[in-house]
Structure 1
Amino acid sequence: MNGSQTLYERYRNEIYRIGWKIEYRARKVSRTECSLFDNIQAEANFIQDSENKIMLEQLTDSLPAFEKSILYKLYLEGYSEAEVAKQFNISQQAVNKWKKKIINQLSQTTKSHD
């Protein structure tokens, strides 16, 4: 123990770290688990989700394979940007930039077809 830190401050900091770790783990678990309400809501939106997936497939047919795989992993498979970045060995910011670029490109495509 160093002289400038009291025993109280040391224990307070340790309790803070423990609390942070518990909160982090709880958030991580809550992201991977789904509640009963989520399941009911998912069933109610099945048709809409299916239509959206079909429309997305039609829009992404013109995209290169890399761009298409980024979209599929983010939106259809439900991976986070960080997880996709790890899979492609690029930064999370790069995934975000690709996502914005692809969405902008698809938006322009849909506007030109209207």
Structure 2
Amino acid sequence: MDGRTLRAIRRRILDWYAIHQRDLPWRKTHDSYHILVSEVMLQQTQVGRVIEKYHEFLTRFPTIDVLARARASSVIKTWKGLGYNRRALFLQKTARAVVREHGGNFPRTLEELKKLPGVG
């Protein structure tokens, strides 16, 4: 595919998005932790269900440090209603790795990100 065709396709997609986009809370943040939470929640779960739980989860666990220190039972209790509770435990395992190995900051390279539990 040549560059001109690719640009035309890209433009059509962006034009469609400008008209049809949904107002989703995770699209309004640049916080890596909030984005991770939304991505894990959205695995195998309908968007409407995630919207209901996203704010509740972040209110209970507002930072990656808080999630890393939380009891697993509390994480699962807050996750209730999203299904696949294993995801909540993987999310907490990832939080603990980020805190322990990276001082609470997400890695900046793809290689380091892929080493996180549940990411790579």
Q: Same fold (TM over 0.5)?
A: no
Report which structure shows greater RCO (CA 8 Å, sep ≥6).
2
TM-score normalised by structure 1 residue count:
0.30
Q: Which has the larger radius of gyration?
A: 1
TM-score normalised by structure 2 residue count:
0.29
